[in-house]
Structure 1
Amino acid sequence: MAKKPGFRTLGDVVEWWLSRIEGDRTRSEKYRSTMASAMRVQVLPRLGKVMIAKLDRVVMDNKLVWPMQQAEMAPRTIQKAIQGLRQAFAMAEEMNRIAANPMASITFRNFYKGKLKPKPAALSRIDLRALVRHLVAVFNDDPAKGMLPLLMLAHGTRIGETLSARWSRVSLDERIWFISSADQKSSREHMLPLTPQVVGLLMRYREALPEQRLRSAFVFAVRGGNRLAETSAHKLIRGISGRAWTSHDLRKLMRDSLADIGIDYMVAERLINHSLGVTAETYLTKDDMARRRDALERWHARLDECGFANAHGQKVAVPALLQNNAAPELAGIAAVSSASMGGG
């Protein structure tokens, strides 16, 4: 079969693919930046000049995989590079840019047979008290800086979906935070109950925001009204943590801690928006929100024991280990009648 005109080298395919995904706002900022880095730092310098017709497993091993292994790079880093190549060539083939796809039969498992170990968490449950105190101190010093990690720890949300939060989707009447399917990795809508603690935190946060940012539709707005970029958010977290932990470590810590306070496995998984399969989710549908609210009330009570109350300013008399049929006793939450935290 005659080769399609235009693309001759692997570099031609990769650069074309990067130009497509870097302008594709339907893909997360993290995905775009991660793939761009993997391709430009690892792949193009090693394979960029290789002719498409010459690309096979031997070339991949000699020029990419083995050199990366010799440089003691993590298996997941190598996997990411190969995944990027497969996606680039698959798109080129689908768009009729190449006559044949040499990456169709090449996978990471051709070169690595071991079991990929999950990345160890940088935060454990014994770090919780010191972490909460640190985040509360950051928040009290600068609410605009400290709100993001506190909200993520409180709900176990991913950084992208947290940054996409809009004031119009934060309802105080219903005490619900709605996350649309377009704003998250799982591509399905998600509802999170708002506890009195988080309502108080949001109110303190809004009081500290300049008028210009209050007019933005986004909870985490920057000058001009747009939402905070994911790269900037990661930089913010690195500064707060001193590079000791990441935003994802907050999510892991929250999930791990739920078992300690007696939260059912399926409820905990739904709370962080993990899929449980059709049967399990059907079982949970009837009282799903009530279970999620109970779980968050327990979790935020645990955070209060660690000093969370010094950030949100509410007095919520709830023991850390509630019984399943117990209801928290509210000791002092400001009444708010508006349907949302703001317009937009």
Structure 2
Amino acid sequence: MPKRNGRHPEKALTAVAVRSAKPGRHADGNGLYLEVDPSGAKRWLLRLMIQGKRRDIGLGSASLVSLAEARETAATMRKAARAGGDPLAERRAERRVVPTFAEAARSCHEEHKGSWKNGKHADQWLNTLEAHVFPTLGAVTVDKIGTPEVRDVLLPIWLEKHETARRVRQRIGTVLDWATAKGLREGDNPVRGVTKGLPKPKGQRGHFAALPYADVPAFLARLRETLKAGPMVKLLFEFVVLTAVRSGEARGARWNEFDLDAKLWTIPADRMKAGKPHVVPLAPRALALLKAAGELRTSDDPSALVFPGERLGKAMSDMALTMLLRRMEVDATAHGFRSSFRDWCAEATNFPREVAEAALAHALESKVEAAYRRSDLLEKRRKMMEAWARYCEATAGKVVPLAKARRPQG
């Protein structure tokens, strides 16, 4: 093409020129071009600056889109780009086919099939959605599902089959998170605030408000940045989350219980609920928290508390953790993070159930299981706790709104 001089052309093409255009690129002006292939095929191209980046956008074949139509479309896109929008993304969104919840659930299930603990669990995951969600939301596209729709699905089973409802809620959340990651919906996951609109189950004891495990990384990110607590309280809370121990076991931790070279913490029997010693494998992040606590240490006594309270020689109270959550406006309990960990094990990993139960130091259910777990599964638990710590770190920089969930916890 010959080099142009002076001003860029504006509406330089005519309908006759389009029909007789030779191979090459022909400028109409304002970034609109007619491209002609050696074969004679013709198409429209719009060159735009979108949010600081040059983008080329195809506007269709010249045999289907007239010069006037191409100019009109180009003008609309230029206006959107000048306003700071992204007309290319908007165009893709218009062309996107949004699946129904049932379609999304099956696709999500298929993509995660390699992570299921076993075939029975994989079948159960989808079967509960088919039984309790598909009849109501199965035909609704995922971008149209909000908190009211999720609440209406859960309400019929929330009191009568609360444990089932809790699992259904978690699985709906997984499907909607999957859809968001695929660019099929926008905004917060409606599952995270749904329990505020559901009645509180009666006659159930031992339930602790817990965050969905998907919210734990964001909580830890906020925890590290908050000015609403001192450094020792924040170190203790994160240590409780990463080790999945009961808060009292961490609050009472003493330096002589740790073998930092072996990366192990042995909690003596007299401080355990089951009355038996419990060995906790320590992930690298947990070791870093201990190092940070050591830098604040004021006593060389091997039996000194790792996370002391304000009163000399006294352990930090559980209320210190509770008040921290209240100041951060997080509707959960410190103990509830054990539930978050347990749900993560079941829903997002293929670690066997007995390994997760051993990590939580739960009482054994049978003599057969006791015999099977005689080894304490220490190395498998170490891999699991390291994976949990990595999960908590992977998205810790993304702070999102936090909500609550409930489950029984011993």
Report the TM-score when normalising by structure 2. Answer: 0.43
The residue that corresponds to 1:29 in the other structure is none
Q: Distance in 2 between matches of 1:205 and 1:140?
A: 18
The residue that corresponds to 2:252 in the other structure is 164
1:140 Cα deviation from its structure 2 partner: 12
Secondary structure at 2:339 match in 1: helix
Alignment of 1:283 with 2:381, yes or no, is no
Could you tell me which of 174, 186, 192 is aligned with 2:280? Answer: 192
Secondary structure at 1:191 match in 2: strand
Alignment of 1:217 with 2:313, yes or no, is no
CA contact (8 A) 1:221 1:227 kept: yes
Unaligned runs of 5+ in 2: 1-201, 398-410
The residue that corresponds to 1:303 in the other structure is 392
Q: Distance in 1 between matches of 2:311 and 2:230?
A: 20
Please say which of residues 257-266 and 284-293 is displaced more in the overlay. 284-293
Secondary structure at 1:247 match in 2: coil
Q: Distance in 2 between matches of 1:140 and 1:175?
A: 31
The residue that corresponds to 1:261 in the other structure is 349
Q: Which has the larger radius of gyration?
A: 2
Q: Distance in 1 between matches of 2:212 and 2:205?
A: 18
1:146 Cα deviation from its structure 2 partner: 0.3
CA contact (8 A) 2:307 2:315 kept: yes
Secondary structure at 1:302 match in 2: helix
The residue that corresponds to 2:338 in the other structure is 251
Alignment of 1:147 with 2:235, yes or no, is yes
Please say which of residues 269-278 and 226-235 is displaced more in the overlay. 226-235
Secondary structure at 1:279 match in 2: helix
Across the aligned residues of Structure 1 and Structure 2, the Cα RMSD in angstroms comes to 2.9
The residue that corresponds to 1:133 in the other structure is 221
Secondary structure at 1:135 match in 2: helix
Q: Distance in 2 between matches of 1:240 and 1:186?
A: 32
The aligned runs of 1:317-328 (5 Å cut-off) are: none
Q: Distance in 2 between matches of 1:296 and 1:179?
A: 16
1:302 Cα deviation from its structure 2 partner: 0.8
Could you tell me which of 204, 207, 210 is aligned with 1:116? Answer: 204
Could you tell me which of 264, 271, 295 is aligned with 1:183? Answer: 271
The number of residues matched between the two structures is 194
1:220 Cα deviation from its structure 2 partner: 1.5
Secondary structure at 1:263 match in 2: coil
Secondary structure at 2:279 match in 1: strand
The 1:248–1:235 alpha-carbon spacing in structure 2 relative to 1, beyond 3 Å, is: closer
Could you tell me which of 253, 272, 275 is aligned with 2:360? Answer: 272
Letter in 2 for 1:266: E
CA contact (8 A) 1:213 1:223 kept: no
Identify which of structures 1 and 2 has the higher relative contact order when contacts are C-alpha pairs closer than 8 Å and 6+ apart. 1
1:128 Cα deviation from its structure 2 partner: 2.2
1:284 Cα deviation from its structure 2 partner: 2.4
Letter in 2 for 1:192: V
CA contact (8 A) 2:254 2:306 kept: yes
Q: Distance in 1 between matches of 2:392 and 2:227?
A: 15
Could you tell me which of 230, 237, 253 is aligned with 2:317? Answer: 230
Report the TM-score when normalising by structure 1. Answer: 0.50
Q: Percent identity?
A: 25
Q: Distance in 2 between matches of 1:140 and 1:198?
A: 22
The 1:139–1:193 alpha-carbon spacing in structure 2 relative to 1, beyond 3 Å, is: farther
- Which string of whole-angstrom CA distances, capped at 9 and with x for unpartnered residues, describes residues 261-301 of structure 1? 22211100010000223321321233611111111111111
Letter in 2 for 1:249: G
The 1:213–1:237 alpha-carbon spacing in structure 2 relative to 1, beyond 3 Å, is: farther
Alignment of 1:204 with 2:281, yes or no, is no
1:238 Cα deviation from its structure 2 partner: 3.6
